[in-house]
Amino acid sequence: MCGGFIKIAQPVDGAILNRHDGKQRSDGLEVEVRLIAPRKSGITVNGVEAEVVRGPMRFYSYGPKGGLYNEFSCNIILKELETRIVACADNSRTSSTVITVLWDENSIRRYRFSVDNNILFLKDLAVNARKYNSIFENDYMNFWRQIHQEYGTRIQFNIYYQTEEFNLSQVPSKYKSEWEENSNWLRLTFHALHGEPKPYINASYRDMERDFRLVSGEIERFAGKSLLSTFTTVHWGETTLEACRALRDNGIKGLVGYFTVDPENGKPTVSYYLGEEETKYLREHDYWKDTREDLIFIKHDLVINDVDLEDIIPALNSIASDPHQSEVMEVMVHEEYFRPELHSYEADIKERVEITTEWLTKNGYKSVFYDEGFLGSPQ
């Protein structure tokens, strides 16, 4: 029996793999598995014998006293949505490691368009409830309907519960049937209680559950349950693990964030509770699943209000050139950049939105919601 350390280096636990990550076969997706194990080990992966491709090497971070290790490789075939990859040394159950990966079997080029920090357009609908007969009499909503009609874009609005002198309980239900009639391209979901910076960075399970249920309950009341989504972006994208568990336990399946690293201290930002390793992986990939917590994370590719008009197409072209980041395009903008009365207003924001959706459409991306099929791809 050969003991010692075994590490599956590729793919990582929770990796979501698609047609760009292996060879499509009639019986599944053939992918390479790479491992680090003690030099004299015989390694099998799901019963397939692995071959040495590099070594011996000395890794002081692996095993006792930095022993000698080889890098091993073999190919396996993914046939199910989720596959356990089991690597064993000399067929020993005591010297083994296990990860789980997912297969995005029918993956297509797709994008989701979300809008964060929404509350002011809902306030306008409430204030003008006697005047407006339609949600599309609001200029903001009328703009998004035009984008949908022109490009087939579906929009998810992530919303606050309250702003100054207004909260969602004041939104009338008179528009409910119209919201439901447009549920094929509109979604409303929880973003935060309010717009204060990093409201959930120290949140408890109860804090998050209370706010999520408050917002979701009001959405269901004035717009209907069909408008809710099982994916959202929490305001500022920084929360405790306990807060994310509250979201999961209340029906959220996935969270979207920037997954960046603070250049000053090297710590993850806009990455929820994830550590440096997971954040770095997501920075370079479309998606990843925390298999322990049963939560999917998806990376924002383009925050439209942060990119000048002339730089949008070069930015999209750059993302599309990377097969690990181009399959699922997540684009986003914030409501406040549409508001002329606010200091954040950007006069060309509508043009930025249109050039983005036009590029996505012309380059073969389909507008999706993540709670349909497998993250928007057909099943």
Question: Please, what is the Cα angle at 226 between 18 and 174, to 5 degrees?
Answer: 150
Last residue of a domain, one of 73, 103, 133: 103
Please name which of 20, 14, 8 lies closest in space to residue 325, comparing C-alpha atoms: 20
Q: Evaluate whether residue 378 is within a structural domain.
A: no
Q: Evaluate whether residue 376 is within a structural domain.
A: no
Last residue of a domain, one of 88, 103, 118: 103
154 and 279 together in one domain: yes
Computed on alpha carbons and rounded to an integer, the radius of gyration of the chain in Å comes to 23
Per residue in 51-66, pLDDT (tens digit) is 999 877 766 555 555 5
Mean pLDDT, to the nearest integer, of 321-349?
98
Q: Evaluate whether residue 198 is within a structural domain.
A: yes
188 and 279 together in one domain: yes
Mean pLDDT of the chain: 94
35 and 61 together in one domain: yes
Q: Evaluate whether residue 121 is within a structural domain.
A: yes
Which pLDDT does position 379 carry in this prediction? Answer: 84
235 and 303 together in one domain: yes
13 and 143 together in one domain: no
| pLDDT surpassing 50 at residue 1 | no
H or E stretch including 10? strand 7-10
Kindly report the CATH number assigned to the domain that includes residue 90. Answer: 2.60.40
The pTM score is 0.95
Q: Evaluate whether residue 136 is within a structural domain.
A: yes
Which pLDDT does position 144 carry in this prediction? Answer: 98
118 backbone dihedrals φ, ψ, rounded to 5°: -80, 130
133 and 83 together in one domain: no
117 and 98 together in one domain: no
CA dist 295 and 242 (Å) reads 13
99 and 162 together in one domain: no
Q: Are strands 231-232 and 302-303 parallel, antiparallel or unpaired?
A: unpaired
> Percent of the chain, pLDDT > 90?
89
Per residue in 231-240, pLDDT (tens digit) is 999 999 999 9
97 and 178 together in one domain: no
Mean pLDDT, to the nearest integer, of 279-293?
97
Residue range of the domain that includes 175 = 110-367
Please name which of 200, 111, 202 lies closest in space to residue 160, comparing C-alpha atoms: 200
Mean pLDDT, to the nearest integer, of 265-287?
96
Token output for 21: 């990550």
Residue 159 binned pLDDT confidence (cut-offs 50, 70, 90): very high
Q: Evaluate whether residue 1 is within a structural domain.
A: no
Q: For 231-282, give the DSSP string.
A: EE--GGG---HHHHHHHHHTT--EEEE--EE-TTT--EESSTT--HHHHHHH
Q: Evaluate whether residue 92 is within a structural domain.
A: yes
- Count the domains in the chain: 2
Q: Which amino acid would we find at residue 145? A: R
CA dist 77 and 103 (Å) reads 10
Last residue of a domain, one of 63, 81, 103: 103
> Can you give the three-state secondary structure of 44-73, one letter per residue?
EECCEECEEEEEEEECCCCCHHHCEEEEEE
CA dist 253 and 88 (Å) reads 32
Q: Evaluate whether residue 379 is within a structural domain.
A: no
98 and 117 together in one domain: no
79 and 142 together in one domain: no
Kindly report the CATH number assigned to the domain that includes residue 261. Answer: 3.20.110.20
Enumerate residues 6+ apart whose C-beta is below 8 A from 188: 156, 157, 159, 179, 219, 223, 227, 228, 229
75 and 158 together in one domain: no
